[in-house]
Structure 1
Amino acid sequence: MKKTKLFCSLVALACVFLLQAQRTEIKGTLIANDDVEGIHIQNKTASKYAISDEKGEFSIAAKAKDTLFISSLIYQERTLIVTSEDEKSKSIKIKLEEKVSALDKVVVGKILTGSLQSDLENSDAKTEINFYDLGIPGNTKLPLTQNEKKLHDADGGSWGHLGLGFGVNFHKLLNKISGRTKKLKNIVELDDRDKCINKLRVYYESIIFEKDTLAKNLRDEYFLFSQEDKNFLNLCQEDNDIKLLEFLQQKLKAYRENLDSTTNN
Structure 2
Amino acid sequence: MVRIKFFLFSILFLCSSEILAQTENIKGKIIASGDLVGIHIINKTAGKFTITNDFGEFEIPAKLNDTILVSGVEYVPKEIIVDDISMQAKQLVINLEVNLNVLDEVVVGKILTGDLMTDIENSEAKREMNFYDLGIPGYTGPRKTQSERRLYEAQSGGGLVPLNPLINWITGRTKRLKEQIEREEIGIAINEAKAKYAKVIFEDEPFSETLQNEYFYFCGDDPSFKTLSDVGNELVMLQFLKEKLEAFKIHLEKK
Q: Which has the higher contact order (CA 8 A, sep 6+)?
A: 2
The alignment's TM-score, normalised by the length of structure 1, stands at 0.45
The alignment's TM-score, normalised by the length of structure 2, stands at 0.46
